[in-house]
Amino acid sequence: GQQVMQIPQYQHVQEGEDFTTYCNSSTTLSNIQWYKQRPGGHPVFLIQLVKSGEVKKQKRLTFQFGEAKKNSSLHITATQTTDVGTYFCAGVADYKLSFGAGTTVTVRA
Amino acid sequence: NAGVMQNPRHLVRRRGQEARLRCSPMKGHSHVYWYRQLPEEGLKFMVYLQKENIIDESGMPKERFSAEFPKEGPSILRIQQVVRGDSAAYFCASSPSSAYEQYFGPGTRLTVT
């Protein structure tokens, strides 16, 4: 079955630094979604990427969908304490959404 | 437009009791998904339902767990004869169609004592 892998599992970042989290699928995806879950909260939809090679930006967050539609990345610049949480990617193949295990981000002030 | 609602938010059950978790999807959403999340772990898919139909229950244990989404009323996730290993956060999500973004409820935190 479809598997979505995310790395790294944990990311400890100094405030102000940049980091990237990666998502890889074992199958070609029709689209990929990203969610953020704050500590103690529930996942919240951030963005969806559909086209091969698509790049979308939300302020300091840049999302990219690979050319082969099997991988994606989330890059955060100038990390802030508000970026703390777990970022999940979710790959869509057929009707099914498969979540990666998430990257949990902590920020050192 | 109210978001996805789940109740109760916290549920404590003793071993052997039944747990009933409710989820009301967003207005206009007919697709409901249930996920389980253990502390410090990711979201594990359990079941996908549309009104009156179970579409995919491949992530749900075959025993003690069941789910329904009746024509009227909320979706219910039912866990019979709970054990300590069932302690987790259970999230419900809804979407207007399959493969669309999912909107999550606040979750039900189940504790089995």
State pLDDT tens for residues B93-108: 999 887 788 999 999 9
CB-nearest to B43 from A48, A96, A99 is: A99
Tell me what pLDDT residue A1 has.
65
pLDDT digits (tens, 9 = 90+) for B71-86: 999 999 999 999 999 9
A43 chain-B contacts, CB cut-off 8 A: 43, 91, 93, 102, 104
Confirm if A66 and A23 have CB atoms less than 8 A apart.
no
The whole-angstrom separation of Cα A103 and Cα A86 is: 5
Smallest CA-to-CA distance from B85 within B44, B47, B50 is with B44
- Kindly report the number of other CB atoms within 10 A of residue B91's CB atom: 26
pLDDT digits (tens, 9 = 90+) for B44-70: 899 999 988 999 999 999 999 999 999
CB contact under 8 A, B42 and A48: no
The whole-angstrom separation of Cα A21 and Cα B77 is: 33
What average pLDDT does this structure show over A18-35? Answer: 95
What average pLDDT does this structure show over B17-39? Answer: 95
The whole-angstrom separation of Cα A39 and Cα B11 is: 19
- Given the structure tokens 């892998």, which residue do they identify? A5
CB-nearest to B98 from A35, A42, A95 is: A95
Tell me what pLDDT residue A98 has.
87
pLDDT at A79 over 80: yes
Cis peptide leading into residue B39 (ω within 30°): no
